[in-house]
Chain A
């Protein structure tokens, strides 16, 4: 529903959730903030979601295509204060209330959380790989270390492959309830990082069913 306001009146009618309400200046400021939140979502978070979706699914080449310097600069330019604080916003020009705004923010923030998890995982792997590379580089760039390594690993000792057997691992594999339900509902997570929004849904279901408590989830 579209409503246009002049913003100058102390009392005016604002349409929220299909209801006409008498609104005071304080309430009008709240509405103006809603305008700003909607603009911020369109200008910033909506585009970030696209980047985050590509990032959290490991589509780096596609991300590189769209997350260009020009696009970054465009986003920065489109988000200065003048965009959010101007007479059009004050007057609620062409303002259409979008009841999905809160959900859009929530979903975007879940994407950010998932992105954090991916980043932490990738950083750990990077640190590990760098450490391993350094170890190998040290070995390959020092004649003494290389000779010592070959001697230690291949010559002055017996090295043999002798026995080969297999056994069944019979312990029952029990997943924590939220991982179990997540896998049932959504299947394995992409690249092993559980989607924060989907996990939140799973936890909500389990809490509502009294299978777990929030404390159980937090502590485990």
Chain B
């Protein structure tokens, strides 16, 4: 699964342990993984016999992710300390003015705070999506189950090729005591990409309007961020 183009790329450190009860496989032969003896799942639920799944998207502060590429104001990029909430504010400034990508055109604290206030709603959306996906074991039409399948298939391939990470994946599986359900254990250095899109209040492609007053003529568009969650 690969995302389309994004406006900016950011990174955010998260705990590998928190993500290690997200994707699972079921197999009757962990020493010989192949498509015929594998099913894939996300979180799971008691009806599937999977009870210890944990949603990792509980308290993630996406707004604090560090921007690495696609700075709304490239002049600030060398400083290396632009957070997503600052970047989105700069992006909004750039969209309204045509290029002036500095947050000082706004009453910025409210605006930046507004970006932070979206974190819980992103987390809630993830929770809903995962909850829906938790019932879809083996259904690879579900995008999250499909993500799990892609991930596991690639890791198995890496293991076959003698890649260190692939071999570690197999070792982690074998170390789990459950006889059929095995969690994909993330390791420090692993990366999971998310794509978050911030949609303007008046819809993508329209000028901003506040209190019935249009803020210039330039349209604001959806702003998408690819956030690499770096496991620590």
CB distance from B225 to the nearest CB of A (A): 10
Contacts of A156 in B (CB 8 A): 163-165, 189
Contacts of B197 in A (CB 8 A): 164-167
- Is the pair A162, B74 in contact by a Cβ cutoff of 8 Å? no
Q: Is A179 close to B, CB under 8 A?
A: yes
- Is the pair A167, B110 in contact by a Cβ cutoff of 8 Å? no
- Is the pair B198, A167 in contact by a Cβ cutoff of 8 Å? yes
Contacts of B154 in A (CB 8 A): 158, 160
The A-B contact count (CB < 8 A) is: 182
Stretch at the interface among B94-102, B134-142, B175-183: B94-102
CB contacts under 8 Å to B, within A160-208, are: 160-176, 179-180, 183-184, 187-194
- Is the pair A175, B1 in contact by a Cβ cutoff of 8 Å? no
CB distance from B1 to the nearest CB of A (A): 5
Q: Is B157 close to A, CB under 8 A?
A: no
Q: Out of B75, B151, B210, which one reaches A125, CB within 8 Å? A: B75
State the CA gap A168–B190 with chains docked (Å). 29
Q: Is A59 close to B, CB under 8 A?
A: no
Q: Is A69 close to B, CB under 8 A?
A: no
Stretch at the interface among A21-29, A47-55, A76-84, A126-134: A126-134
A interface footprint on B130-164 (CB within 8 Å = 1, 0 otherwise):
00000000000001100100110011000000011
Q: How many residues of A contact B (CB 8 A)?
A: 44
Contacts of B200 in A (CB 8 A): 168-169
- Is the pair B198, A128 in contact by a Cβ cutoff of 8 Å? no
Q: Out of A125, A163, A172, which one reaches B211, CB within 8 Å? A: A172
Contacts of A159 in B (CB 8 A): 190-191, 193
- Is the pair A171, B117 in contact by a Cβ cutoff of 8 Å? yes
- Assuming the A-B contacts A155-B163, A160-B1, A173-B215, are A167 and B193 also in contact, with contact meaning beta carbons closer than 8 angstroms in the complex? no
Contacts of B96 in A (CB 8 A): 173, 175, 183, 188
A interface footprint on B2-25 (CB within 8 Å = 1, 0 otherwise):
110000000000000000000000
Contacts of B59 in A (CB 8 A): none
- Is the pair A174, B151 in contact by a Cβ cutoff of 8 Å? no
Q: Is A138 close to B, CB under 8 A?
A: no
- Assuming the A-B contacts A167-B196, A183-B96, A191-B98, are A176 and B77 also in contact, with contact meaning beta carbons closer than 8 angstroms in the complex? no
State the CA gap A168–B198 with chains docked (Å). 6
Q: Out of A157, A166, A175, A189, which one reaches B106, CB within 8 Å? A: A175
State the CA gap A169–B113 with chains docked (Å). 11
State the CA gap A174–B122 with chains docked (Å). 24
- Is the pair B1, A167 in contact by a Cβ cutoff of 8 Å? no
- Is the pair A132, B114 in contact by a Cβ cutoff of 8 Å? no
- Is the pair A173, B111 in contact by a Cβ cutoff of 8 Å? yes
Contacts of B113 in A (CB 8 A): 171
Contacts of A121 in B (CB 8 A): 75
Could you tell me which A residues sit within 8 Å of B by CB distance?
121, 124-125, 127-129, 131-132, 152, 155-176, 179-180, 183-184, 187-194, 220
Could you tell me which B residues sit within 8 Å of A by CB distance?
1-3, 71, 74-78, 88, 92, 94, 96-101, 104-107, 110-111, 113-115, 117-118, 121-122, 125-126, 129, 143-144, 147, 150-151, 154-155, 163-165, 169, 186-187, 189-201, 208, 210-211, 213, 215-218, 222, 224, 226
